[in-house]
Amino acid sequence: MAKQLATEMAPPFKLVAHYMIAGALFYTVASFLLPFYSGELHSFFLTSSIASLMHLYLLGFIMMIIFGAMYQLVPVVLEIPIFSKDFAYVQFYLFVVGIVLFSTALGVEGYIKVLPYGAMLMYISMLIFIVNIFLTYKNIELWSITAKYILVSNIFLLIGVTIGFYMALNLIYGFSGNLVQLVTVHISATIVGYILMTIMGIGMILLPMFSLSHGFSQKAIEVAFYLIIAGLVIYISSIFFDNPLVKYTGVALIALSVFLGLYQMWLIFKGRIRKQNDFWAKNMIASFVSLILSIIVLVFAILQNSQILYILFGFILFFGFFVFFIVGHIYKILPFLVWYQRYSPLVGKIKVPMLNEMVKERVADTQFWVTTVGVLVCSVAIAFKMEILFIGGAIIMAAATLLVIYNIYYTLIYGLDRLKEGV
């Protein structure tokens, strides 16, 4: 099959927009709920209340954005269209309903009975996504490093969500199994095996594209690919055999893989043509710094078996690394999709806007600094168990999400009034 531009094979813009808009809304809801969790600073880090918020945030925001991005980027990686666009629409609606039911059941006392239904809808929707990706791979010809990351990450996603579905049913029907072991495998396979591997893989597409970097070596990210797989397999194995040496070996390999990935990103940034630190570059730098800090905190949490450090690790990873990386790329991906759908047919006929005009740069820059302040304040509050300070930092972060929503809205409606007037 002749190679085609991804934009010619990608699904309709409205499909990707479904995921982007829903992800941003879930991000806002989760952020506005965060101040009410200040009392959890003294709790065990795996309470049902925290699980409710984390699933709303992880599934509603992070996974939703990743799914939308995958439907747009897989044609770039595989150079073939996605197997079924209809599957993607079905997945979206099942996923949204499932997230709402599942998070409500965990977080609101008295709704636990709807937990299996929410879990089932989410599980089916993720199976649809995984099958859609696997069937797309049937006709692959180009096995790039990104294609490898995406394929293996979806295998880990299948493992993670299957265990998660089992645990949800276990809460209601009381099956056998060690809950701590199952939760650990679920978290490892989903967050490290799927989300982190996906980010490392698609980063090799997005970072060079947005920084105009080329001519760099990919050896670091290739070595990181095998290290993270080996580290995950070893770490998950140690959970069932309860061998500290094996566990620390797995953690060390995963950490080494992540640092190799960060080194790869540094090589890309080093060779970039766009040297100015615009709002995208600032978000990327902040995301990688957050990732390094979260790994350091995790190491101390494991060594000291500290509940508060586990909470701090999760907070920096979720609300630092993931937020900066995802929001930074929303500001790049969404304007391009809107521009291509709305203005590409008009090139040469009317004056079309530049991509940077379709984002309020001052708003994006303000949002970055407000988010940064909020993350720092909340991190200090968690470390020293200062509930009032945490509430303040969480409110600051929630305010920043409104700026994200505003910029998404601004991009989506950009130029519509002029186009209606035929200008």
pLDDT digits (tens, 9 = 90+) for 54-87: 899 999 999 999 999 999 888 878 888 888 889 9
Separation of alpha carbons 245 and 234, rounded Å = 10
Asked whether the predicted pLDDT for residue 282 surpasses 80, the reply is: yes
Taken as a whole, the chain contains a residue count of 423
The first and second tokens of residue 27, run together, are 């991000």
- Residue 416: pLDDT band (50, 70, 90) is confident
pLDDT digits (tens, 9 = 90+) for 226-275: 999 999 999 999 888 878 889 889 989 999 999 999 999 989 888 777 66
If you average pLDDT over residues 85-107, what whole number do you get? 94
- End-to-end Cα spacing for the chain: 39
Contact 358, 339 (CB under 8 A): yes
**Please, what's the b/e burial string for 116-133 (b: 16 or more CB within 10 A of its CB; e: otherwise)?**
bebbbbbbbbbbbbbbbb
Give me the residue spans of the domains in the chain: 1-142, 172-211+213-271
For residue 393, give the H/E element and its range.
helix 387-413
pLDDT digits (tens, 9 = 90+) for 300-332: 998 888 888 988 998 999 999 999 999 999 998
The pTM score is 0.90
If you average pLDDT over residues 330-340, what whole number do you get? 88
The conformation of residue 320, written as its DSSP 8-state character, comes to I
pLDDT digits (tens, 9 = 90+) for 158-185: 999 999 999 888 877 776 667 778 888 9
